[in-house]
Structure 1
């Protein structure tokens, strides 16, 4: 897994074209243009998130993330997006994006097919906080733009699910032309499963034959470096949607038996319960701080059988009730 996030020069160029003071934005997060010049054109996840926050503050444009994501040019794509653009179908494109994105930056893209829907989400491995709003909007706008560019059709999502309070609903609905669902457990772009069969007019088998062997070799090396605990955390994050995240279900996701999973986690110095508690804790903090979901709804999404169990667990994690944590998170920062 790549540990740093590449910053394409075109991103800085587009910010300047919008008459934003790029130097001031960079200075706000302790960076300068020298940081973005070769050979250092990559940022840590924390620096990358801070940069997006600074861009939002400087621009004041609520749709900037959408515009930046939708306006990405094919010749500026990273290798994962390039492989996706030249796939045979939209479904294959999303598979390639999910498979190779981790080679580009510490971000995991996942696609879940269920009940006639293709649900696209992402997870930042090294993030200590939540992805900035503009980055989430831009990511989904970029995925949809890739789908439309490849198929040359106006692919329309079923809905967009956002783990945030209701804001900019009309703006988002105009861009995505679908239902925007707020206070969701995770951020997801939901496409109709039938759209996955749409052929890509940009399909290029010869280019893929040149590109994929090298990417697969890198992926094999990355797989040897990645820990089982990382894979379990991701599987748990994907299941934090109102079901009890049992070890049996997670083991099935990882194609191993529950006993093998427990044994290997023990050998790595951790346990399934410890990872479950950690993911629940981080998810609870995010949902309480960023959404208007009631504490009982948060408890349900995290797989607790009753509110009291969640309240006791949260008290142990944070030393305060969920309600107090939400009030403090909503208070203006000095």
Structure 2
């Protein structure tokens, strides 16, 4: 099944920023204008790019790429840009951006380090399609403005490039420092000094908290998540309610119990192993990072009683939950019973 991309929120945002009608934009690409009120509307890659071109036609003025880049660099929260902002350096930030870019659009981004410089290149991820050159210019301006915001420095690319047949406007050229070269891909080149420049927005602790969720979204988007991964995620949600049998999970995932067991066997695991793994991983996190009592943790993990949790945890670790928490927190764990 072809990948689809959510556009409901961005369609409204860009309509407001450019003072254009989302309904007219949708009609231009052959979609019903009534979809403008649908927050969950999603489209394929071809339509995604057509909507960009339709918005540009509706705006009917130069400089919209700059307007949108400046607004978005200081506006809506987007997972890929958040990943960029939490990194230690500009190079790592752009690398993270390249990993999570597919979450928001049909674009493939690559980061390389030829001669220690930092080169970001971008193109359509779908075979047979090309990114609109105007969208490419927006990306160059947007990523550069984010670089300046996140570093607190006047970062200026050494060079940039855009596909042929499109001329950047004078303000964009002035902003980028040089006129973009003509090339097949959209690209930016930064100096070694800028590549290693630390980000003032960096946050290792916040990134550690949010990265797993972003990676789950990416796995879903790219279709790489395994059945084991889906079951562990479903178990984490279902454990407090106690609906954690193989039959429960099979119904939740629209599979027969037999198919579930067969596919897990092909992945080299079993339902009981996944249940134990999920409970252990969650118990570790609760004991290390929360002030929940052991009975509360036992309940959240779906055990019938606290003694069952004690026996299971001792089997996993050879120690008790209280001793584990005390060791993991340097003796400062809260509410051990």
Instruction: Sort the TM-score into its range (normalised by shorter chain).
Output: 0.5 to 0.7
Deviation beyond 4 Å, 4+ runs, structure 1 = 36-39, 217-224
Does the 8 Å contact 2:83/2:96 carry over to 1?
A: yes
If you compute each CA radius of gyration, which structure gives the higher value, 1 or 2?
A: 2
User: Mean alpha-carbon deviation: is it higher for 20-29 or for 80-89?
Assistant: 20-29
Gaps of 5+ in 1: 227-334
> Per the alignment, do residues 146 and 17 of structure 1 end up closer, same or farther by CA in structure 2, a change over 3 Å counting?
closer
Match of 1:140 in 2: 140
> Per the alignment, do residues 41 and 145 of structure 1 end up closer, same or farther by CA in structure 2, a change over 3 Å counting?
farther
| TM-score, normalised relative to structure 1 | 0.60
Distance (whole Å) between structure 1 residues aligned to residue 59 and residue 127 of structure 2: 24
CA drift of 1:137 comes to 1.0
Q: Which structure 2 residues correspond to residues 311-322 of structure 1 after superposition, within 5 A?
A: none
CA drift of 1:138 comes to 1.1
Match of 1:53 in 2: 53
Match of 1:189 in 2: 188
Which SS does the other structure have where 1:40 is aligned? Answer: coil
Distance (whole Å) between structure 2 residues aligned to residue 75 and residue 108 of structure 1: 23
CA drift of 1:97 comes to 0.5
Distance (whole Å) between structure 2 residues aligned to residue 15 and residue 217 of structure 1: 30
Kindly indicate whether residue 65 of structure 2 is the aligned counterpart of residue 96 of structure 1.
Answer: no
Match of 2:152 in 1: 152
Kindly indicate whether residue 114 of structure 2 is the aligned counterpart of residue 118 of structure 1.
Answer: no
Does the 8 Å contact 1:4/1:42 carry over to 2?
A: yes
> Per the alignment, do residues 136 and 92 of structure 1 end up closer, same or farther by CA in structure 2, a change over 3 Å counting?
same
Which SS does the other structure have where 2:160 is aligned? Answer: strand
Match of 2:315 in 1: none
Does the 8 Å contact 1:156/1:178 carry over to 2?
A: no
Match of 1:200 in 2: 199
Quick one: higher RCO (CA 8 Å, sep 6+), 1 or 2? 1
Aligned length: 225
Alpha carbon RMSD of aligned pairs, Å? 2.7
Match of 2:107 in 1: 107
> Per the alignment, do residues 211 and 2 of structure 1 end up closer, same or farther by CA in structure 2, a change over 3 Å counting?
farther
Does the 8 Å contact 1:148/1:155 carry over to 2?
A: yes
Distance (whole Å) between structure 1 residues aligned to residue 62 and residue 172 of structure 2: 10
> Per the alignment, do residues 59 and 115 of structure 1 end up closer, same or farther by CA in structure 2, a change over 3 Å counting?
same
Distance (whole Å) between structure 2 residues aligned to residue 2 and residue 89 of structure 1: 35
Which SS does the other structure have where 1:157 is aligned? Answer: coil
Does the 8 Å contact 1:118/1:192 carry over to 2?
A: yes
Distance (whole Å) between structure 2 residues aligned to residue 114 and residue 36 of structure 1: 44
> Per the alignment, do residues 20 and 166 of structure 1 end up closer, same or farther by CA in structure 2, a change over 3 Å counting?
closer
Does the 8 Å contact 1:98/1:109 carry over to 2?
A: yes
CA drift of 1:147 comes to 0.7
